[in-house]
Homo-oligomer: A and B are copies of this chain.
Amino acid sequence: MDLKAYLKEQCARVDAALDSYLPRETELPHSLHKAMRYSVFAGGKRVRPILMLAACQAVGGDTEVAIPAACAMEMIHTYSLIHDDLPAMDDDDFRRGNPTNHKVFGEAVAILAGDALLTEAFKLLSNPACAAGVPSEARLAVIHQIASCAGSHGMVGGQVVDMESEGKSDIDLPTVQYIHTHKTGALIKAAVVAGALLGGADREKLAAITRYGSAAGLAFQIADDILDIEGTTEEIGKDAGSDQARGKATYPAVMGLAAAKQEATTMMDEAFKALEIFGSEADPLREIARYIVTRKK
């Protein structure tokens, strides 16, 4: 399959849907809706939404029913980036080459835009007009899965440990594993599990997709750590080497660059293995796993 064309096509579907679901800038309060849209449309690759659609397809589902949930996932991802960039957190002035939300709209509106995006995600997930034809029980399960992976035992928990580990010299592998599987991995796992649930997966398929999600999620973050070292500032849209400069807990930092690369490949292989029960309908998931580890930005 032509992954580039596939990603472009799915990205356009997600972008169009996000545009239709997000409140307009003309709606009150203008500044808030402007700030929400600014970060949602700041050049994200839509990895999580596309993974959700690909997982839905892999289990034989109609990807159309997963579009609202895919958008909700991107809103949650975006909120997390806005809050991570705040002065009290990572204090980043740029993301993907653009000024961060609080640099444009101020800290207060940035905090509230993040809050509103997180809330909007759950509004969309519970919207009766969305996911038509999907049983209500499955929709509740999707909400529960996403909330569980985004909260204190998931993404937010990972961010806290990441922050608390910054600059410490004695960070061990289990801590980095905790950070990566929670801060990034949890939401990626939630994306594919939700896609499988919306696609009507049976127990066996759901288990396989869950294993894929865990492996791909970890691979994604290790690859990100490696990119921070090997990528150029232009490629990755932020200062290259910034993790190291900050004393961030990363795979290369605790196990060395070569071992980290090996680990990323191992995770990619695990992701492939989890998909063995599927035929060509899981090709997008396979190609995305490969892309996650080999991408240059």
Given A119-B150, A126-B143, A164-B31; A111-B83 close (CB under 8 Å) = yes
- A143 and B27 alpha carbons, distance in the complex (Å): 23
Interface pair B120/A160, CB less than 8 Å apart: no
User: A157–B29 contact, CB under 8 A?
Assistant: yes
Residue A163 is within 8 A (CB to CB) of chain B in the complex: yes
Q: A170 CB to closest chain B CB, in angstroms?
A: 17
Mark the stretch among A40-48, A62-70, A132-140, A263-271 that contacts chain B: A132-140
Interface contact B31-A151, CB-CB below 8 Å: no
B123 x A108 contact (CB < 8 A): no
Known: A126-B147, A128-B144, A148-B123. A23 touches B112 (CB 8 A): no
Q: How far is the CA of A39 from the CA of B283 in the complex (A)?
A: 47
If over half of A's interface residues share one DSSP class (helix, strand or loop), that class is named, otherwise mixed; here it is: helix
Residues of chain B within 8 A of A178, CB atoms compared: 28
Please tell me if A127 contacts chain B, counting CB pairs below 8 Å: yes
Task: Tell yes or no: A61 within 8 A of B by CB.
Answer: no
With A83-B112, A88-B108 known as contacts, the answer to whether A119 contacts B161 (CB < 8 A) is: no
Given A111-B83, A114-B115, A152-B116, also A29-B144 (CB < 8 A):
no
Q: Are A86 and B111 in contact (CB under 8 A)?
A: yes
A1-40 contacts to B, CB under 8 A, are 23, 27-29, 31-33, 36
Residues from chain B with a CB closer than 8 A to the CB of A114 are 115
The closest CB in chain B to the CB of A124 belongs to B147
Q: Is A156 at the interface (CB under 8 A from chain B)? A: yes
Contact B88 A152 (CB under 8 A): no
- In the complex, A295 has a CB within 8 A of chain B: no
Residue of B nearest to A138 (CB): B136
Shortest beta-carbon distance, A109 to chain B, in Å?
7
Residues in B neighbouring A108, C-beta threshold 8 A? 86, 88-89, 163
Q: How far is the CB of A76 from chain B (nearest CB, A)?
A: 9
1/0 per residue A74-96: CB within 8 Å of B? 00000100010010110000000
Q: Evaluate contact between A151 and B119: CB separation under 8 angstroms.
A: yes
Q: Is A118 positioned at the interface, with any CB of B under 8 Å from its CB? A: yes
| Contact (Cβ within 8 A) B107 A36 | no
Contact A111 B111 (CB under 8 A): yes
Q: How far is the CA of A99 from the CA of B88 in the complex (A)?
A: 18
A214 CB contacts on chain B under 8 angstroms: none
* Given A32-B152, A33-B152, A118-B118; A140-B159 close (CB under 8 Å): no
Chain B residues with Cβ under 8 A from A106's Cβ? 88
Q: What are the 5 closest A-B residue pairs judged by CB atoms, nearest first?
A: A136-B136, A88-B107, A123-B147, A119-B151, A126-B143
